[in-house]
Amino acid sequence: MIPHTGLCVGLDLDIEKLPAPYQKQVVDLQRFGCDVIDATKGVASCYKLNLAFYEQYGRAGIDALYAIRERIGDAYVIADAKRGDIGNTSAAYAKAVFEDLQADAITVSPYMGRDSVGPFLDVPGKMVYVLALTSNPGSHDFQRRLVGETPLYELVMNTVLSWPRAGDAGFVVGATNAEELAMVRTKYPDVPLLIPGIGTQGGDAQQTVAANAKGPAVFNVSRGLLYADSTETCMDTIARLAAEYSATMTP
């Protein structure tokens, strides 16, 4: 079952940013990821694995991904894959992420429409977070464009919620604009959200939680948690910050 609300630890691991106790190699990427899980497991509601950060290192990176997934254990796992292709390709992606990686949720792009998202929604008991209003600067290029009088991101949300199994659909809505998040939450009070962008990207944790207005959401923190301390005390810092974030984000 998806966590109703709380801290999502984003395991977007970057070899070049590993703290001092770790060396800049894939084996230490794996070690760092496992140590982060051990340091946060008591306070994290879920973990987000950004697949690209592992795939870039080839087979060694994939091995690290699966080792980190195994260390997470029974905690809730979101595969940040942003998949979305024609039906049979999406079905293959869904099988890889849900059956092999054993993720509980996935992020998907809605650009190709219902037949590209449908294969993910067809898997029972899995959550599908559709990109809606993201926290990157380029989100202005398309997501806020008006279709008639309706922003495109809102049209995406309304359309997805009209599909079968829409109860297993949530949306990615960024934390970098608390006013927009509050508007989304007012219009969609009960829809699950994955909210990235807190910390390094500029989103404020307290403002974001307030804007969400106690709706079902997990709040992702990645770089602002993982790389807050570049010294030998990094895991103590990560554990402390994770506890502070969790206290802010958990009702």
Q: Is residue 117 predicted with pLDDT exceeding 90?
A: yes
Distance CA 185, CA 182 (A): 5
Percent of the chain with pLDDT over 90: 87
3-state SS, residue 46: strand
Is the separation of the CB atoms in 2 and 127 below 8 Å? Answer: yes
Residues 142-184 pLDDT 10s: 999 999 999 999 999 999 999 988 779 999 999 988 999 999 9
pLDDT at 2 (0 to 100): 66
pLDDT at 107 (0 to 100): 98
Amino acid present at 97: V
Q: For the chain, give the mean pLDDT.
A: 94
Break the chain into its structural domains and give their ranges. Answer: 5-249
Q: Is residue 240 predicted with pLDDT exceeding 80?
A: yes
234-to-19, 89, 161, 165, 213 alpha-carbon distances in Å: 7, 40, 42, 42, 32
Q: Please, what is the Cα angle at 172 between 193 and 30, to 5 degrees?
A: 100
- The CATH fold assigned to 5-249 is TIM Barrel (3.20.20)
pLDDT at 136 (0 to 100): 86
Active site positions, annotated: 82
pLDDT at 97 (0 to 100): 98
Q: Looking at 34-38, 45-49, 91-95, 139-143, which range is the least confident one?
A: 139-143
> 124 or 2: which carries more pLDDT confidence?
124
- Tokens 């999502």 locate to 8
Q: Are strands 150-151 and 146-147 parallel, antiparallel or unpaired?
A: antiparallel
Q: What does pTM read for this prediction?
A: 0.96
